[in-house]
Structure 1
Amino acid sequence: MMPPAIAYPIPAPPREGPAPWKPDPSRCALLIHDMQHYFVDRFDRTTSPGRALFENVTALREACLRQQIPIVYSAQPGRMSRADRGLLRDFWGEGMTDDPASRGLVFPSDGAQVVTKWRYSAFFRTPLATRLRSLNRSQILICGVFAHLGCLLSAADAYAHDIEPFLIADAVADFTAADHAMALHYAAKACAATPTTADVLAHLT
């Protein structure tokens, strides 16, 4: 079963890793990862990391809407069959139901594409990579939950598709500060840039 989230200060982003990439409005898309009530309602929006998560995802989303940068949402379907849930069941149990109150996105999709997610990575069994190629987008900005699970694995899969991933350090949240920090440090060393929201907004605007 999913553990409860705890309050913790957002870890400082790691020192700049080997990736020299900078967000480019003409090349990037925004992935708002699993911002469904089932996952994010466990965070207190008045304290860290919940407050930073909601404020920074909101700022990124609004900047991308203004700049007409594509936005993609990932969302789990709820009430998966045993076959569809696979090994997730052994780690996390049955998962969310198909109750709209649980499955619903925190932010309105505004006509943006919503990819149905089956495993940690938003690229697994989804049209995300094809969608990005069709839009001539070779960068992906990743925000949402949970940092060391779907956000990190989506960044690693983007890297495998030669799409430059940005795991935005203070626009993701996790169960613990240690999980959050681990995701950032692994990403910075192995597969992604890890800028802050302010860093990204400076390049987008």
Structure 2
Amino acid sequence: MEMQLSIPARPEAVSFDPSRTAVMVIDMQNDFGCRGGMFDRAGLDVVPIAHLVQPISRLLEAARRNALLIVYTRQEHNADLSDAGNEDAPHRIKHKRLNIGAAVVAPNGIQSQILVRDTWNTAIIPELEPQPGDAVISKHRYSAFFETSLDTLLRARRINTLIFTGATTSICVESTVRDATFRDYRCIVLRDCTAELIAADTMRSNHEASLLAIELLFGWTAESEAVIDALSRSAKAG
């Protein structure tokens, strides 16, 4: 029997059934949110992403108490970059400036590679480490649906609603939201659990622009406390 929980959202309230809802944790990995990771080495400010750890942690605690499916994604590539496109592919070109594949020494002293799987760089930030029962999707493009098993996993669990957290709002989060919408999943993006890098030369961010586009045509946006409160009320009522 389905249980619909309604939460305040933009542009209007939205509901979800916990038994058919997954929490998406998009690319909360060392390369994006930690000192010594890819963004930090490129001179970008990772503080906005690092600040997501606490609110996402609170949301995941509530989600696990209520048995919601939790899906982590990691953007990562083969060590030889064979899955990053040809030398003239846009994905490869855009990542050259971020030194994709470069050998580095991680902050803990071990050898690593930028944006390469099975390394420190692409590991999930320790405070958000996946737990038994969580799913982890490895992806080699921005969208978590592109050439992955994500859609098969969600449909096997009869999931119809995705609650989004992670980084960055305008790239990997929005790319996945768009692909999810095309597949008829209901998407709820949490404003306080997503973030964008800030361009140092302009101090501008695409975060709000992405939220506006999502609210207009691709889904809904909400605050994490609204989801946590709804899950808490549901647990007490049950």
What range is the shorter-chain TM-score in? 0.7 to 0.9
- Gaps of at least 5 residues in structure 2 are 1-8, 35-39, 41-45, 101-113, 199-203, 233-238
Which of these two proteins has the greater Rg computed from alpha carbons? 2
Letter in 2 for 1:108: E
Q: What is the TM-score with the length of structure 2 in the denominator?
A: 0.72
Deviation at 1:21, TM superposition (A): 2.8
CA distance in 2, matches of 1:180, 1:139: 22
Greater alpha carbon shift after TM alignment, 73-82 vs 122-131: 73-82
2:91 maps to a residue whose letter is L
Q: Equivalent residue of 1:101, what SS?
A: coil
Aligned partner (choices 10, 19, 29) of residue 16 of structure 1? 10
Quote the residue 1:109 is aligned against: 130
Give 1:199's match in structure 2, choosing from 226, 232, 236: 226
CA distance in 2, matches of 1:72, 1:80: 24
Q: How far did 1:127 drift?
A: 0.9
Are 1:22 and 1:203, in contact at CA under 8 Å, matched by a contact in 2? no
Q: Which amino acid aligns with 2:146?
A: F
Residue 55 of structure 1 deviates from its aligned partner by 1.4
Q: Give unpaired runs (5+ residues) of structure 1.
A: 1-14
Task: Tell me the C-alpha RMSD between the 2 structures.
Answer: 2.0
- After superposition, the Cα gap between the structure-2 partners of 1:81 and 1:192, relative to the gap in structure 1 and judged at 3 Å, is farther
- TM-score normalised to structure 1 length: 0.83
Aligned in 2, Cα 1:196/1:36: closer, same or farther, shift over 3 Å? same
Give the CA deviation at 1:202.
2.1
Paired positions, count? 186
Give the alignment of 1:78-117 within 5 angstroms: 78-79=77-78, 81-86=80-85, 87-93=90-96, 94-95=99-100, 96-98=114-116, 100-106=119-125, 107-111=128-132, 112-117=134-139
Cα distance between partner residues in 1 of 2:166 and 2:10: 21
The AA in structure 2 aligned to 1:114 is V
The percent of aligned pairs where both chains have the same amino acid is 25
Q: Residues of 1 paired with 2:115 and 2:181: CA distance?
A: 32
Find the counterpart in structure 2 of residue 8 from structure 1: none
Structure whose residues are more often strand by fraction: 2
Q: Comparing 187-196 with 172-181, which one deviates more in the overlay?
A: 172-181
> What residue number does 2:181 align with?
159
